[in-house]
Structure 1
Amino acid sequence: MNKSSNVNKMTYDHIKSIAFDADDTLWVNETFFRDAEDQFCALLHEYISYEECQKRLFEMEMRNLPMYGYGIKPFTLSLIEAAIEITNNNVSIATITKIIELGKMMLGAPVQLLDGIEEVLSTLSRKRKLVVATKGDLLDQERKLEKSGLARYFHHIEVMSDKQPKNYEKLVHHLDLEPQEFLMVGNSLKSDIVPVLEIGGNAFHIPFHTTWLHEEVADKIEHVNFKELSKASELINILK
């Protein structure tokens, strides 16, 4: 990626549409997965250490990702498969039942908005078209958006199977925009930032305190269209 000495001088009057990731950008998500992982590994403590359990579960998730995709339901299936594998087919029906209940609890969890996000959306929606651009299970994401009370701020909702450059190109085309007129805001460098920069769009990163290992990137990003923020409320002054 290209370095630039003018990053701080960037203006954003040319931005016509702002897309927001949903999970851990609009509301809390990853925390529920990590809590479920802790409970899962506690269920299997007689078979395996916590660290090894985490490792084996992540490996199972990565094997299943191409087939199942992202979200709570695929995660629950991976929990069940990992339990069967870890216990060498000796996992009890009672434990499987508890794992299924973990998934249902996640699906039924209340939506916890991140601090200040509704004010940000309310302010920005007065001047620009806002979009939700997220990945995961369609039914679950629609449920969370409805529970959140944020749907009224968005011009368009896009639930992607993945977040690769081609997925963003399709979204930008659907919005009838040029890539440079599009801004993506999200917590994942891998999914929300890098692919958008690759197609010539703009991307703002707002880190969340917990990040799934699969979403981490090793290299520091330096790009004229990239900006690192500490909280969502900073968007109001930057994009005013």
Structure 2
Amino acid sequence: MTTIAFDADDTLWHNERFFKLTQERFAELLAPHMDGNALMARLLEAERRNIGHYGFGIKGFVLSMIETALEVTDNKVPGSVIAELIAAGQDMLQHPVDLLPHAVDALRAAQAVGPVLLITKGDLLDQERKVAQSGLGEMFSDVQIVSAKIQATYTRIFDAYDGAARGMMIGNSLASDVRPMLEAGGWGVHVPHDLLWDMEHADTPDTHPRFLEIADLGELPDLLSKHR
């Protein structure tokens, strides 16, 4: 193994909790029109429809909330509610980056192996902001902000180094970080996070010989020492 890549959101720093807080406020604002569980289901449907149009990230999330609000109120949602949803999105885009425990030590351990990459999806400007504010930017040999994390993505990125077969991807999402990397022939390391977007759920590839799981990034140095 010569090249190690990390996911960003909810792997190196917190992200999903800000979406959850905004969803709770969204449910409060639309409570007169629809039950919270049903509303969240409608919002998820909108997000699925809109991924191809807006991609991943806060801006697409806000537009999906506005679309859902219009749908469930028959286009009668008050302008004040729309304004609050937009303000909530702006707050999310300005929120300080809060690193997860052991992130720096994990990156240092990876640097001892070889090139360290950051592979993340989402809104370009927002992801660039978070990388800059995290203070971690100089620890990466390469930062890739991609539209989708699929097998072809990992094959392309790792081919610029020693190939996916000699690479490892570390992240909190089985669907985006682990399974596509395994399909590309590399190692996939799952680092579970308490919060996970519904669209990131996937079956655990327990029987795959290159699948690994750690409780948190604090366990990564030992894992790397065993699989070099």
Residue matched to 2:105: 119
For residues 20-99 of structure 1, what are the structure 2 equivalents within 5 Å? Answer: 20-99=6-85
Give SS of 2:217's match. coil
Supply the distance in 1 between the matched residues of 2:205 and 2:188 (Cα, whole angstroms): 14
**Identical-pair percentage:** 39
Instruction: Compute the TM-score of the two structures, normalised by the length of structure 2.
Output: 0.96
Supply the distance in 1 between the matched residues of 2:182 and 2:88 (Cα, whole angstroms): 37
Give SS of 1:239's match. helix
Instruction: Compute the TM-score of the two structures, normalised by the length of structure 1.
Output: 0.91
Deviation at 1:137, TM superposition (A): 0.8
Supply the distance in 2 between the matched residues of 1:58 and 1:186 (Cα, whole angstroms): 22
RMSD across aligned positions (CA): 1.1
Supply the distance in 1 between the matched residues of 2:206 and 2:56 (Cα, whole angstroms): 25
Deviation at 1:159, TM superposition (A): 0.6
Deviation at 1:124, TM superposition (A): 2.4
1:215 aligns with 2:185: no
Measured against aligned partners, the alpha-carbon deviations of 1:172-212 in whole angstroms (never above 9, x if no partner) come to: 12x23222111000000000011111111111000000111
Cα distance change of structure 1 residues 220 and 128 upon mapping to structure 2, 3 Å threshold: closer
Supply the distance in 2 between the matched residues of 1:221 and 1:211 (Cα, whole angstroms): 19
In structure 2, which of residues 170, 177, 182 is the aligned counterpart of residue 197 of structure 1? 182
Cα distance change of structure 1 residues 219 and 117 upon mapping to structure 2, 3 Å threshold: closer
**Structure 2 residues without counterparts, runs of 5 or longer:** none
Residue matched to 1:169: 155
Supply the distance in 1 between the matched residues of 2:206 and 2:175 (Cα, whole angstroms): 11
Supply the distance in 1 between the matched residues of 2:178 and 2:191 (Cα, whole angstroms): 10
For residues 99-138 of structure 1, what are the structure 2 equivalents within 5 Å? Answer: 99-138=85-124
Which runs of 4 or more aligned residues in structure 1 lie more than 6 Å from their structure 2 counterparts after TM superposition?
none
